[in-house]
A and B are shown apart, each in its own frame.
Chain A
Amino acid sequence: GENVEQHPSTLSVQEGDSAVIKCTYSDSASNYFPWYKQELGKRPQLIIDIRSNVGEKKDQRIAVTLNKTAKHFSLHITETQPEDSAVYFCAALSSASKIIFGSGTRLSIRP
């Protein structure tokens, strides 16, 4: 069935360094890939998304890249700050219009 794998499950980086989270998807017809940030005890919030006809998208310190051939997409956070600490979820919208989430990455920023 449709599947999204997300790595790593936990990530700790020094404040100011970059963080990269990677996801792979199984349905080659998936056409929309959002990323959500969920702070402790709070609801998930969309931070960036990308469509299948775009290879890269940036929004200030956050960027997402998509490789359709390899069926993987990545979240890049540069110049990390303490407020970036959260759980990040990738997701893929399958050809059956079902949204499949990755298992999440707990990002910790070390001061």
Chain B
Amino acid sequence: KAGVTQTPRYLIKTRGQQVTLSCSPISGHRSVSWYQQTPGQGLQFLFEYFSETQRNKGNFPGRFSGRQFSNSRSEMNVSTLELGDSALYLCASSLGGWGAYNEQFFGPGTRLTVL
């Protein structure tokens, strides 16, 4: 079974631009969650999608948005990029979301650099 994939792996943008990241979950997984990882803030939860619906959301500004398609692939969009958005963006997929019987499998991440 193929693992979680994310594209692109690396991205360089300038302040004010917008960016779209993509995550393809493991086949059969319906839940996709997104995280921002930075050296200073660690791993922070952005949002979770399940069956095309946003089921949960972390404490990030409205510039961060996402969506999920019928094939469970998910995209994350960041508008009006700021320098502080530079981070590794990870997605994780699972059968049913967070919980003891739903192991989360992480993708390799997209390294976003904002100049």
Interface residues of A (CB under 8 A from B): 1, 32, 34, 42-46, 49, 51, 89, 91, 93, 96-104
Stretch of B15-23, B65-73, B106-114 lying at the A interface: B106-114
Interface residues of B (CB under 8 A from A): 33, 42-45, 55-56, 58-59, 90, 97-100, 103-104, 106-109
Tell me which of B55, B100, B104 contacts A97 (CB under 8 A).
B55
Having A32-B98, A43-B90, one finds 13 other A-B pairs with CB under 8 Å, namely A32-B100, A34-B104, A43-B109, A44-B90, A45-B106, A46-B104, A49-B100, A51-B100, A89-B42, A91-B43, A93-B98, A99-B45, A99-B98
CA distance A49 to B44 in the complex (A): 19
Report B-chain residues with C-beta under 8 Å of the C-beta of A100.
Answer: 45
CA distance A17 to B58 in the complex (A): 38
Report B-chain residues with C-beta under 8 Å of the C-beta of A32.
Answer: 98-100
